[in-house]
Amino acid sequence: MPKRELWRLRGPILTLAVGPVLFTVVGAGYFIHWLLSSIPLPVAFALAAVLSPTDAVAVSAISRNRLPTR
C-alpha cells in the first residue's frame, strides 16, 4: 500500500483497529466483573484485554486451520 494512501486513510484505519478492541475490552470487563463480583474491575479489564482478539482474520484462520504454509 502506498504511504500517501495509508497516511490519507489513517483516521478510519486507526478507528477500525482500536475501536473494536476497546469496545470488546470494556464490554467483556464489565461482564466478567458482573459475573464474578469478587474480581476487581481493573483486573476484569486486564483479563478481558487478554481474551479479546485484536485481529479477527487471524483468529478465524487459526480456528479453521487455514494458516499459510511456509
Enumerate long-range contacts of 19-24, CB under 8 Å, 24 or more apart: 21/52, 21/54, 24/48, 24/52, 24/53
What residue segments make up the domains of the chain, in order of their start?
19-70
Q: What is the pLDDT of residues 31-48, one digit of tens each?
A: 999 999 999 999 999 999
**What pLDDT was estimated at residue 8?**
87
* pLDDT at residue 16 is higher than 80: no
Residue 7, amino acid: W
pTM for the model stands at 0.63
* Span 51-70, average pLDDT: 62
